[in-house]
Amino acid sequence: MAASNERIREVVEAYVDRVGNGTSAEVVALYAEGATVEDPVGADVLTTREQIATFYGNLDGLEQETSLVEARIGGGQAAFLFRISTKVGDQTFTMAPIDVMTFDDDGLITSMKAYWNADTDMTVT
């Protein structure tokens, strides 16, 4: 049976929380075997566990804060807007992607696609 909308919301909240406060391994643990990641949209799609682990591994050690802004969940799928800010020295890089995810019956993420644009959607303060 497909994961419930409640279960999917929990996973979305866990994802946003772990991207901000967790290790990359904790983020990757939310993904199903065989999952794909396209971030940002239009980039090469990551298709192996190793590629996905490397992608999130880039976040390890960064000082980040995340918050879920809006989530819409239906039909076993989710789209959500979240805010992520990264402190690098005196500067803070902030962006707010819209992520779209599909899930397996256990609520593990089977695909993630992040809509944002490095040219227009990042602010530095």
Residues interacting with its own copies, by CB under 8 A?
Answer: 5, 40-43, 70, 72-81, 96-98, 100, 115-117, 119-121
Of the candidates 31, 7, 3, the residue with the CA atom closest to the CA atom of residue 19: 31
105 labelled catalytic: no
Nearer to its own copies, 10 or 70 (CB): 70
CB 112 within 8 A of CB 38: yes
Nearer to its own copies, 79 or 108 (CB): 79
Of the candidates 56, 63, 69, 66, the residue with the CA atom closest to the CA atom of residue 26: 56
106 labelled catalytic: no
As measured in angstroms, the least distance from the Cβ of 30 to its own copies is 19
Structure tokens, 72: 């819409």
Active site residues: 15, 39
